[in-house]
Structure formats: C-alpha cells, structure tokens
Amino acid sequence: MAGLGLGIQYGVLMPYGRMHESEADIVGQDLMARSGFDPKASISLWQNMAKHSKGAPPEFMSTHPSHQTRIRDLSSHLDQSMAYYQPGNAPRCVKPKR
C-alpha cells in the first residue's frame, strides 16, 4: 500500500501540480503584457530566482516546475505574449500622499 501511495504521489499528483504551475506562469506572462508590463521581466524573475536559490529538490519530487523549466516555457511563449504588449498601457505607480 505504501508503494501504491508513493506511485500516486510521484506519478499522478506532482506532475498534475507542475502542469498547473506552468499554466499559471503563462497566464501571468500574458496578463503582464496586456497590463502594459514587459513580459520579458517574467523570464528575468526566474533567472534571478535560479541564481539565488540553493538546494531545490529534483523536479520529479516537487509540485513546482524547476527554474530552468519555467525559464524555457516562458521564453518559448514570449513571442505570443509580446503580441499583447503595449508599453504605454502600464499603470503609473504613484506614492500615496499622507
């Protein structure tokens, strides 16, 4: 029974979670672009995360894609996100007055 539980954990549940995480990354990149933020920044974010994180478990043991997988997926989707990108649409961030 323990072996079956491990098989389900690593064979079904974790890949399912990684798939959702990857989909969320792509949706987020598209939303960035539609909001006027440069979608290339999503790739830079994961490059920085990879550079500063140590000791991540192997991808097959995680519910999250590896940093390299995220970078690869976002890079390959970048052309589609760039089609939505209008630099002038970014909201201006203004410091609130007190």
Q: What is d(CA 85, CA 98) in angstroms, rounded to the nearest whole number?
A: 33
Domain of 35 in residue numbering reads as 17-50+63-86
Q: Does residue 22 fall inside a structural domain?
A: yes
Q: Does residue 82 fall inside a structural domain?
A: yes
pLDDT of residue 33: 94
pLDDT tens digits in sequence order for the chain, 98 residues long? 555 454 445 454 555 577 888 999 999 999 999 999 999 999 999 999 889 887 776 766 677 788 899 999 999 999 999 999 988 776 676 667 77
Q: What is d(CA 80, CA 83) in angstroms, rounded to the nearest whole number?
A: 5
Q: Does residue 8 fall inside a structural domain?
A: no
pLDDT of residue 8: 47
Distances from the Cα of 12 to the Cαs of 25, 56, 63, 65, 76, in angstroms?
21, 20, 11, 15, 26
pLDDT of residue 84: 93
pTM: 0.71
pLDDT of residue 55: 74
Domain count, the chain: 1
